[in-house]
């Protein structure tokens, strides 16, 4: 069976080099009865690949039994896989046939194999090596001739090193490893896939077919698709049901993509596929900083638009403790944003600058003065609109340490130094926050 026929038969869409390589590997590993381990992120279509392997094998006339190991409670997974005798446990009123018996002569697809408990891993290893097993509560050995195809979205090598997965089982499962690339590594497939899904849902919901405009297609290709093909299908279905206006522009699609307005999920087409963990973590921190800046802008706009008295606020948006005509000494963080002068753990870590402060009159309002008072960008550091803009323009990025200092500082400022509330906002424990502050103070 050639590649085109394979794709049509099993519904695998796309024409990118990465997908072609996967299809060629499927054709190679399907005929022999080797154990195959499918690796890939959630939503890339591992079950579809397993179905194609079964459909091209000599077992295609027998059953393909699909088991989601992560969806079965730990106490029941052995009885589900290997069956159970009557009375083996409370509620076992009849003999139960396990998945290995059901898949005899066919293929057993074990999805999310990384979620399998260690005790069940021991029994699975024995079945793979000998083809024999016993039902839970039974004594007689049974034999099965089921081919196993396993899948995981975890790094099983790391799971082995941490003691969460048996090393011998890992080597037994990974006779052949087939990696399925995420959607962001085959961007040329995104628009054709999206249009195919739109066409499918248009028929299903009896809606008009929607074309994708050039700017809409460009937006789809820039998006990172953390949910991969599953998320792309979801967005296509939403577009058919909610928009129903052709062509689909970037303005139509943007609200359907999670976090696009804040830059989340967007990525450059030139960004290397193997981005490091440090880069991804820095991106998350940078987005948080952008959200903080947006809130400060909103506060500034609301004050300027208000008539009457101007609140007694410093440039950072806090009430000043300065006296009339005094110079307020305000430390600044690595991004030029003023931080609270009473946060001693950071006083030695950042440069400082003098901010002239004149308490506002209770009977007058100077919009120019207010504009200066709340200006946070004219401090020598320009904050790009997004993490991607910073990468594209080659702008200097904050170091991880600088970003961490800025986030902790802002959280403490927002909650008036309350460490418990600050820790909750940052998503860390209060003890971790205390340790970080102590480390920064040393």
The model's pLDDT over 241-292, given as tens digits with 9 standing for 90+, comes to 998 788 999 999 999 987 443 344 544 334 444 444 555 556 566 666 666 7
What pLDDT is recorded for position 421? Answer: 82
Is residue 30 domain-shared with residue 112, that is, in the same domain? yes
CA distance 17 to 185: 10
| Assigned token pair, 55 | 């459909």
Is residue 238 domain-shared with residue 99, that is, in the same domain? no
Which CATH number covers residue 232? 1.10.8.60
Q: Of 181, 214, 232, which one is at a domain's C-terminal end?
A: 181
CA distance 267 to 275: 11
CA distance 197 to 302: 43
- 312-360 pLDDT tens trace: 444 444 444 433 333 333 333 444 444 433 333 333 333 333 333 333 3
What pLDDT is recorded for position 397? Answer: 64
CA distance 134 to 83: 8
- Residue position matching structure tokens 């052949």: 176
Is residue 147 domain-shared with residue 18, that is, in the same domain? yes
CA distance 404 to 420: 17
> What residues contact residue 35 under an 8 Å CB cut-off, 6+ apart?
128, 147, 148, 149, 150, 172, 173, 174, 175, 176
- Of 37-51, 140-154, 213-227, 400-414, the poorest mean pLDDT is in 400-414
- 370-393 pLDDT tens trace: 333 333 333 344 445 555 555 555
Q: Which domain holds residue 237?
A: 184-262
- 183-209 pLDDT tens trace: 999 999 999 999 999 999 999 999 988
Assess whether pLDDT exceeds 70 at residue 427: yes
Q: What average pLDDT does the chain have?
A: 76
What pLDDT is recorded for position 283? Answer: 59
> What residues contact residue 359 under an 8 Å CB cut-off, 6+ apart?
312, 320, 322, 324
Is residue 198 domain-shared with residue 340, that is, in the same domain? no
Is residue 204 domain-shared with residue 172, that is, in the same domain? no
Q: Of 181, 196, 221, which one is at a domain's C-terminal end?
A: 181
In which element (H, E) is residue 125 found? Answer: helix 118-130
What pLDDT is recorded for position 139? Answer: 82
Assess whether pLDDT exceeds 80 at residue 170: yes
- Residue position matching structure tokens 């609270």: 340
What pLDDT is recorded for position 294? Answer: 64
What pLDDT is recorded for position 301? Answer: 63
What pLDDT is recorded for position 310? Answer: 44
In total, how many domains does the chain have? 3
For 421, phi then psi, to 5°, come to -65, -35
Is residue 40 domain-shared with residue 134, that is, in the same domain? yes
Assess whether pLDDT exceeds 80 at residue 298: no
What pLDDT is recorded for position 23? Answer: 95
Within a domain: residue 144? yes
What pLDDT is recorded for position 342? Answer: 38
Is residue 55 domain-shared with residue 159, that is, in the same domain? yes
Percent of the chain with pLDDT over 70: 67
What pLDDT is recorded for position 330? Answer: 37
What pLDDT is recorded for position 391? Answer: 56
Q: Of 199, 230, 262, which one is at a domain's C-terminal end?
A: 262
Which CATH number covers residue 171? 3.40.50.300
Is residue 190 domain-shared with residue 310, that is, in the same domain? no
Q: How many residues does the chain have?
A: 442
Report, as an integer, the average pLDDT of 390-404. Answer: 66
- Of 174-178, 275-279, 299-303, 379-383, the poorest mean pLDDT is in 379-383
Is residue 217 domain-shared with residue 192, that is, in the same domain? yes
Gyration radius from the chain CA atoms: 29
- Can you give the pTM of this predicted structure? 0.59
Query: Between 240 and 277, whose confidence is greater?
Result: 240
């Amino acid at each position: 069976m050639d590649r085109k026929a394979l794709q049509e038969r099993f519904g695998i869409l796309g024409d990118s080099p990465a997908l072609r390589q996967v299809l060629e590997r499927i054709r190679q590993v399907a005929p022999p009865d080797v154990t195959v381990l499918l690796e890939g992120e959630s939503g890339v279509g591992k079950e579809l690949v397993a179905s194609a392997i079964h459909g091209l094998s000599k077992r295609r006339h027998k059953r393909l039994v699909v088991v989601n190991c992560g969806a079965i409670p730990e106490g029941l997974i052995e009885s589900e896989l290997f069956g159970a005798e009557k009375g083996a446990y409370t509620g076992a009123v009849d003999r139960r046939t396990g998945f290995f018996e059901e898949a005899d002569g066919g293929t057993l697809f074990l999805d999310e194999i990384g979620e399998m408990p260690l005790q069940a891993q021991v029994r699975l290893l024995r079945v793979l090596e000998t083809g024999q097993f016993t039902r839970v509560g039974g004594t007689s050995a049974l034999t099965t001739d089921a081919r196993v195809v396993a899948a995981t979205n975890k790094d099983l090598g790391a799971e082995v090193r941490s003691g969460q997965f048996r090393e011998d089982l890992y080597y037994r499962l990974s006779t052949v490893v087939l990696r399925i690339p995420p959607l962001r590594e085959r961007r040329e497939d995104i628009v054709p896939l999206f249009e195919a899904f739109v066409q499918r849902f248009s028929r299903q919901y009896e809606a008009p077919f929607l074309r994708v405009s050039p700017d809409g297609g460009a937006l789809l290709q820039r998006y990172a698709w953390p949910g991969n093909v599953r998320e792309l299908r979801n967005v296509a279905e939403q577009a058919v049901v909610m928009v129903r206006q052709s062509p689909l522009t970037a303005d139509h699609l943007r609200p359907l993509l999670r976090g696009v307005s804040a830059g989340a999920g967007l990525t450059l087409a030139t960004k290397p596929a193997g981005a490091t963990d440090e880069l991804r973590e820095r991106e998350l921190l940078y987005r948080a900083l952008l959200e903080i800046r947006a809130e400060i802008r909103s506060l500034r706009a609301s004050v300027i638009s208000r008539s009457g008295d101007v609140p007694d606020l410093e440039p950072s948006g806090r009430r000043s403790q300065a006296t009339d005509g005094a110079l307020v000494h305000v430390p600044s963080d690595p991004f030029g944003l003023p931080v609270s002068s009473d946060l001693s753990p950071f006083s030695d870590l950042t440069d400082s600058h003098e901010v002239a402060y004149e308490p506002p009159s209770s009977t007058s309002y100077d919009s120019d003065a207010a504009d200066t008072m709340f200006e946070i960008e004219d401090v020598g550091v320009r904050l790009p609109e997004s993490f991607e803009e910073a990468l594209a323009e080659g702008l200097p990025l904050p170091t991880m340490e600088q970003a961490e200092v800025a986030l902790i500082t802002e959280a403490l400022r927002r909650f008036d130094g309350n460490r418990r509330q600050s820790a909750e906002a940052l998503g860390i424990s209060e003890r971790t926050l205390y340790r970080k502050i102590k480390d920064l103070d040393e």
